[in-house]
Amino acid sequence: GAVVSQHPSWVICKSGTSVKIECRSLDFQATTMFWYRQFPKQSLMLMATSNEGSKATYEQGVEKDKFLINHASLTLSTLTVTSAHPEDSSFYICSARRYPGTVSTDTQYFGPGTRLTVL
């Protein structure tokens, strides 16, 4: 299989604090990981693409200084929400693209998500 884990699964924090979310591919290497957020009853919105060893690419409208992404290894990417505010409360989901990325195996496998609540 292709298993992706996220930690923590949920977190509650006070406004103004920073929160780090980890995304790990457990049984495969991932040169590329993606971070999404999902609001209730809505679909997934891509926030950024994270490539191992290089800077993340952010989607239009996503503040890179607020959502810090580090892809430290082929199996780990982290998303840090800095100075979190209530409007940052959401469901954050990561995915990992299986390497090598041939056409037949170019599939994104998703983690279970992290529910962030900012008070």
Partner 1 sequence: EDQVTQSPEALRLQEGESSSLNCSYTVSGLRGLFWYRQDPGKGPEFLFTLYSAGEEKEKERLKATLTKKESFLHITAPKPEDSATYLCAVQILTGGGNKLTFGTGTQLKVEL
Closest distance between partner 1 and the C-beta of residue 60, in Å?
Answer: 12
CB atoms within 10 A of CB 17: 13
Binding string to partner 1 for residues 75 to 94, with x set by CB under 8 A, is what?
----------------x-x-
Q: Does 101 bind partner 1 (CB under 8 A)?
A: yes
Question: Which of 4, 30, 56, 116 touches partner 1 (CB under 8 A)?
Answer: 4
Binding string to partner 1 for residues 27 to 66, with x set by CB under 8 A, is what?
-----x-x-------xxx-x--x-------x---------
Q: How far apart are CA 34 and CA 32, in angstroms?
A: 7
Q: Of 34 and 67, which has the nearer Cβ to partner 1?
A: 34
3-class DSSP assignment, residue 47: strand
23-28-31-35 Cα dihedral, nearest 10 degrees: -30
| Residue spans of beta strands (DSSP E) within the chain | 4-7, 10-13, 19-25, 32-38, 45-51, 57-58, 67-73, 76-81, 90-97, 108-110, 114-118
Binding site residues, partner 1, CB under 8 A: 2, 4, 6, 32, 34, 42-44, 46, 49, 57, 91, 93, 95, 97, 101, 103, 106-113, 115
